[in-house]
Amino acid sequence: MAKKQSNIVKQTLDLSNMPEPTPEQKARMDAVAAMPEDQISYKDAPYLPDAVWLKAAAELPSKKQQITLRLDAEVLEFFKHMGARYQSRINAVLLSYVKANKAQAGAK
């Protein structure tokens, strides 16, 4: 039996070893950096609120408890759209929120 061929290509980006931008990319970045803030268009950029808790923890606790949780359809679709392990990402965001609020409560 012939081996099934796949046209899927998987790549991993190493954030600690980013490729150097091309001279054209560098020129475009420099041009944007030199622009006044009010001239920069953010219409294609995703909305990213300035919430500390969105920086979800990379390491998740190994001890978890299974529950039933009701989420807004929009929230669930957002995380599912991000790909596999969406439940782990939801947990990471919630955990980061808890840590940020504990730190803020301790600062008061």
pLDDT tens, N- to C-terminus, the chain (108 residues): 566 777 888 778 787 888 889 999 999 999 989 999 888 887 887 666 655 555 555 555 567 888 999 999 999 999 999 888 899 899 889 988 888 888 777 765
Please give the tally of structural domains in the chain.
Answer: 1
- Determine the Cα–Cα distance for residues 108 and 102; give it in Å rounded to an integer: 10
Residue 44 included in any domain: no
Residue 88 included in any domain: yes
pLDDT at res. 19: 84
Residue 8 included in any domain: no
Whether the CB-CB separation of 40 and 29 falls below 8 Å is answered with no
Cα dist. 102→20, 24, 53, 92, 98 in Å? 39, 45, 11, 15, 6
Residue 90 included in any domain: yes
Whether the CB-CB separation of 48 and 54 falls below 8 Å is answered with yes
Whether the CB-CB separation of 104 and 97 falls below 8 Å is answered with no
Residue 24 included in any domain: no
Residue 23 included in any domain: no
pLDDT at res. 105: 75
**Residues of the domain holding 107:** 51-108
Residue 21 included in any domain: no
Residue 41 included in any domain: no
